[in-house]
Chain A
Amino acid sequence: MNAALDTGVLPDWSPYGVVAGSAALAAALLLAAGAFSVALLLVATVFVAAIVTYTWSRRVEGPRRAKDRLVTLTIVAAFGLALIPLLSLVFEVAKRGIPGLSLEFLTESARGQIGGGGAAHALVGTLVITGVAALISIPIGLMAAIYLTEYGGGRLGRALTFFVDVMTGIPSIVAGLFAYALFALIFGPGIRLGVMGSVALSVLMIPIVIRTSEEVLKIVPNHLREASYALGTPKWRTITKVVLPTAFAGLITGMMIAVARIIGETAPLLVTTGVVDSINSNPFSGRMQNLAVYAYSEYRTPGVFKQASYDRAWAAALTLIVIVMVLNLVARLIYRRYRTEIR
């Protein structure tokens, strides 16, 4: 037998066994110390498991494997830690939102209702405002990204990149105030329109679209462009017929993610689209409600039946989360369906 190659290996169950044992040990220690809590138990378990895994593995398998196991454990623990807020958020919103969800909530507005009604006006508003924002942002963002990857290398390109970076960091309320000021200049103060909200959201969305599209277009290999040029194809046709189709799946995904990112914005819409109780699907006329502002105002100024208002606020939040999840799922499906193998 070759001693150099033949080292011991921990049994397959060892990671789970160690964690379970550590949890029991940590629970016992905490109970003995009289300071038991779930958070402390988790922290203590990870610490005990780390020590046990490392010493056990080092004795049986040697230092390299021991380090590997230690790092694996740390990474899994970090992953779990990152997952806790996400899961607890989704769980909490679902728990509190489901009681408020009903057919009435999704199909009726709050017009003339006292302490009741639905959020259909907010749902319609969210879809219209976000849709118009996407209509404004996607062409501008996509064309800017095409300019940056295919044409811009000079001063204008660098300036554009710089301002896109700055725009990514703009607080959303500033975007809202910008749109408000812009429309107030033209139509006078006190103006509230759905399209104002769309403009505000566009300010937030355009840099995201540019960034994601630029990354996707950069991945399209240069040899495809050259192959097209070598056939005597003009540049614009190369872009529309070769570069964009090759990047199609990635571009769609990027846009869906940009939409998902802005659909839940509250602050800029609060100052631009106003608060209203009835359904309005025309972005160019009158105030427009949306889900995020609806949730905010239901919670801030509940009606006579406080609990019903709170329920509706949570239901609106849940609806928003579901919309975002659906958008992400659609993006993934499109990506799977249309992605091209790029080498």
Chain B
Amino acid sequence: MGAAGATRAETEVDKTEMSNAATTGTQPAPESVRAAQGRPAKTLEARGVNLFYGDFHAVEDVTMTVAPNKVTALIGSSGCGKTTFLRSLNRMHELNASARVEGEISLDGQDIYGPKVDPVQVRRLVGMVFQSPNPFPTMSIYDNVAAGLNLNAGRVKKSEKDAIVERSLRGAHLWNEVKDRLDKPGSSLSGGQQQRLCIARAIAVEPEVLLMDEPCSALDPVATLAIEDLIGELKSKFTIAIVTHNMQQASRASDITAFFNLEETGKPGRLVEIGPTEKIFTSPSQQATEDYVSGRFG
């Protein structure tokens, strides 16, 4: 952990270059390039994924790749299974009592639904930020960020913890606003600050992939912009998948866009199209995608 932290701290400086470098290709970069980026983020691949709630077939046959060091946006109308799919990527879907997953999801080639895989371990590698900011109400700002370290069994030295908290808060662009009141409760912050606190909490455990479920839907435009900027920077270190209802947000903040749709209510949602964001928004290959992104429905 210490070594990874050190390499990351070094790359803090040139992250803008890195994020530019990261936008060049869908394929995982060669080892040398990834070393230059400082952090080899991992690829999430879904193959033939079907998701169910009891008898209800929520998502049908999704095959897509969440590319490393890129922001992949999942767009589509409400109820088309974007969030359900996102939650299947870190095994949160199965927390629902009746939920079921079919198909294969792998993280850098390793099946995360394998029989020997511990879902707790998967969630350490694939972090998540939720729709509404949900800092732990009993914890201070500091403890919220350190929550992942405190909650996971291993003991971390105080000085090391301080460093991780500061780095995470800086990474979430919150440090300057809260550095003088780290002992105040997390709920004392504004909505946008709380969401950045939750992002800091998520990146403090150094996951490989960051899933974001409509992270800006409860925020005002200024706070939204702050989060979007943050997402742009975070992709230099993480693989990011973001669900959004905001088409501008998808076009601004993402490199790759996946469009989900459901043919009619009661039918499962499907992945209609996935491609570079620019292409999806300017010349999509499917009529449904064009209708959706041009605002004709949805």
Interface on A for B, CB 8 Å cutoff? 153, 221, 223-224, 226-234, 237-238, 241-242, 245-246, 248, 340-343
Nearest B residue to A225 via CB reads B95
Q: Can you name 19 A-B pairs with beta carbons within 8 Å?
A: A221-B134, A223-B134, A227-B130, A227-B201, A228-B136, A229-B95, A230-B90, A230-B123, A231-B147, A231-B152, A232-B124, A232-B205, A233-B123, A234-B153, A237-B152, A241-B150, A246-B138, A340-B137, A343-B137
- How many B residues have CB within 8 A of the partner chain? 30
Q: Is B232 an interface residue (CB 8 A)?
A: no
CA distance A268 to B291 in the complex (A): 74
Nearest A residue to B187 via CB reads A341
Residues in A whose Cβ lies below 8 Å from that of B136: 224, 227-228, 242, 246
Which residue of A224, A226, A245 contacts B92 across the interface (Cβ within 8 Å)? A226
Most buried by A among B122, B123, B125: B123
Nearest B residue to A154 via CB reads B97
CA distance A341 to B135 in the complex (A): 11
Which residue of B123, B132, B187 contacts A231 across the interface (Cβ within 8 Å)? B123
Which residue of A223, A232, A234, A248 contacts B132 across the interface (Cβ within 8 Å)? A223
Which residue of A153, A223, A234, A341 contacts B130 across the interface (Cβ within 8 Å)? A223
Q: Is B117 an interface residue (CB 8 A)?
A: no
| Beta-carbon contact of A230 and B92 below 8 Å | yes
| Beta-carbon contact of A233 and B120 below 8 Å | yes
Residue interface mask B198-211, A partner, CB < 8 A = 1: 10011001010000
Q: Is B32 an interface residue (CB 8 A)?
A: no
Q: Is B265 an interface residue (CB 8 A)?
A: no
Q: Is B268 an interface residue (CB 8 A)?
A: no
Contact status of A231 and B202, CB under 8 A, knowing A153-B97, A223-B130, A237-B151: yes
Residues in B whose Cβ lies below 8 Å from that of A228: 136, 147, 151
Residues in A whose Cβ lies below 8 Å from that of B81: none
Q: Is B105 an interface residue (CB 8 A)?
A: no
CB distance from B103 to the nearest CB of A (A): 22
Contact status of A238 and B187, CB under 8 A, knowing A224-B137, A232-B205: no
Residues in B whose Cβ lies below 8 Å from that of A226: 92, 95, 128, 130, 134
CA distance A229 to B147 in the complex (A): 11
CB distance from B260 to the nearest CB of A (A): 21
CB distance from A52 to the nearest CB of B (A): 50
| Beta-carbon contact of B138 and A232 below 8 Å | no
CB distance from A150 to the nearest CB of B (A): 11
Contact status of A232 and B128, CB under 8 A, knowing A227-B198, A246-B138, A340-B137: no
User: Is chain A's interface secondary structure helix, strand, loop, or mixed overall?
Assistant: helix
Residue interface mask B127-171, A partner, CB < 8 A = 1: 110101010111000000001101111000000000000000000
Most buried by A among B124, B125, B134: B134
Q: Is B121 an interface residue (CB 8 A)?
A: yes
| Beta-carbon contact of A245 and B138 below 8 Å | yes
Among B183-218, those with CB < 8 Å from A are 187, 198, 201-202, 205, 207
Most buried by B among A231, A233, A248, A343: A231
| Beta-carbon contact of B123 and A232 below 8 Å | yes
Residues in A whose Cβ lies below 8 Å from that of B122: 232
Residues in B whose Cβ lies below 8 Å from that of A246: 136-138
Contact status of A232 and B147, CB under 8 A, knowing A226-B130, A227-B198, A246-B138: no
CA distance A328 to B90 in the complex (A): 45
CB distance from B191 to the nearest CB of A (A): 11
Nearest A residue to B151 via CB reads A233
Interface pairs A-B: 7 shortest CB-CB: A232-B124, A230-B128, A231-B148, A233-B151, A245-B138, A340-B137, A232-B123
Which residue of B90, B134, B150 contacts A224 across the interface (Cβ within 8 Å)? B134
| Beta-carbon contact of B92 and A238 below 8 Å | no
Known: A230-B127, A233-B120, A238-B151. 20 other contacts (CB 8 A): A153-B97, A224-B134, A227-B201, A228-B136, A230-B128, A231-B147, A231-B148, A231-B201, A232-B121, A232-B122, A232-B124, A232-B148, A232-B152, A232-B205, A233-B147, A234-B153, A241-B151, A245-B138, A340-B137, A342-B137
Contact status of A234 and B97, CB under 8 A, knowing A224-B134, A224-B136, A224-B137: no
Contact status of A233 and B148, CB under 8 A, knowing A153-B97, A226-B92, A226-B95: yes
CB distance from A233 to the nearest CB of B (A): 4
| Beta-carbon contact of B92 and A231 below 8 Å | no
| Beta-carbon contact of B138 and A340 below 8 Å | yes
CA distance A297 to B148 in the complex (A): 59
CA distance A245 to B95 in the complex (A): 21
Residues in B whose Cβ lies below 8 Å from that of A343: 137
Which residue of A221, A231, A242 contacts B127 across the interface (Cβ within 8 Å)? A231
Residue interface mask B33-53, A partner, CB < 8 A = 1: 000000000000000000000
CA distance A223 to B121 in the complex (A): 20
Residues in B whose Cβ lies below 8 Å from that of A238: 151
CB distance from B19 to the nearest CB of A (A): 24
Most buried by B among A221, A229, A248: A229
Most buried by B among A227, A229, A233: A227
CA distance A340 to B138 in the complex (A): 6
Residues in A whose Cβ lies below 8 Å from that of B92: 226, 229-230
CA distance A223 to B218 in the complex (A): 15
CA distance A245 to B92 in the complex (A): 23
| Beta-carbon contact of B151 and A341 below 8 Å | no
Contact status of A229 and B123, CB under 8 A, knowing A238-B151, A241-B151: yes
CB distance from A247 to the nearest CB of B (A): 9
